Amino acid sequence: MSVISHRYEFVYLFDVINGNPNGDPDAGNLPRLDPETNRGLVTDVALKRKIRNYVALEQEGAPGYAIYMQEKSVLNNQHKLAYEALSITPEAKKLPKEEAKARELTAWMCKNFFDVRAFGAVMTTEVNAGQVRGPVQIAFASSIDPVLPMEISITRMAVTNEKDLEKERTMGRKHILPYGLFRVHGFVSAKLAERTGFSDEDLQLLWRALTNLFEHDRSASRGEMAARKLIVFEHEHPMGNAPAHVLFDMVKVERVDGGAEAPEPGSPARGFADYRVSIDRSSLPAGVTINEMF
């Protein structure tokens, strides 16, 4: 497991059909909206949650791939595998200085937990070394075009309480976006990876997680979500060869009029075929390679 030696940036596109990609607790679970532009939003933490869940599913608690921040619905499979005996280094008797101790604790956490290694974690101690900054940083995802959430009333042919028995049924609400294509930017720092031991294998796992992010996250509220595109910029130099925003500007996502599901120009997008993704390779800075993962 060698630590990654390049800086990366990525543009990730995913879409939703008739679902709620990320509910807003402030707005009664309506899909999140940017109030100024009416574009849909998906928070960074929502995506990180899904990455954690994918890694937990794929790795099933393999040594080194435990997930610290767990959802209870993800079954704890860790007992399946005997723990890697080599990693046990009980040096408690020595009792080094506080700072060294904290470093030892964080190193152990990084070694064993994928999410600590990738995203970092805050471990409370009196010394600052108990804080891990992870190399992987994800920004908010926002939809390409403004979206219009729909509220759908549904009925349930049962009631919860006995005293409501005569009502026979209850009404509920679902909020959906008919369609939304979301774009998110992410960053992987080689220098922070050195500190947490985020390896090339971990990076491949991150790409796999993004590729299959929604395949194992089906639920009644999400509708049909799918990863559509992952464009990775790899810098030759660990510190990077070009500003991130220059690279992001190279990727354009545009509406095509008269796409598969929008016969009339100007009609709302209802499918990925209504968009065209293009990369302006002519302005690619030296030392950066583009990798279209899918």
Closer to other proteins by Cβ: residue 164 or 249: 249
Closer to other proteins by Cβ: residue 44 or 200: 44
Exposed e or buried b for every residue in 95-104, given b needs 16+ CB within 10 A? Answer: eeeeeebbeb
User: Do residues 185 and 10 make contact, with C-beta atoms less than 8 angstroms apart?
Assistant: yes
* Residue entry with tokens 């990320």: 22
Q: Please, what is the minimum distance in Å from the beta carbon of residue 146 to other proteins?
A: 16
* Candidate ranges 29-37, 146-154, 159-167, 274-282; the one touching other proteins (CB under 8 A): 29-37
Closer to other proteins by Cβ: residue 40 or 61: 61
Among 218, 237, 252, 276, binds other proteins (CB under 8 A): 237
All residues at 6 or more sequence positions from 63 whose CB lies less than 8 Å from its CB, including other chains? 81, 83, 84, 87, 112
User: Do residues 3 and 12 make contact, with C-beta atoms less than 8 angstroms apart?
Assistant: no
List the structure tokens of 79: 């007992």
Q: What is the rounded CA–CA span in Å between residue 271 and residue 3?
A: 39
Closer to other proteins by Cβ: residue 67 or 262: 67
- Give the residues lining the site for other proteins (CB under 8 A): 24-26, 32, 34-36, 41, 43-45, 49, 61, 66-72, 76, 78-79, 83, 85, 87-90, 92, 101-102, 104-105, 108-109, 112-113, 121-125, 130, 133, 135, 137-140, 185, 187, 189, 191-192, 237, 239-246
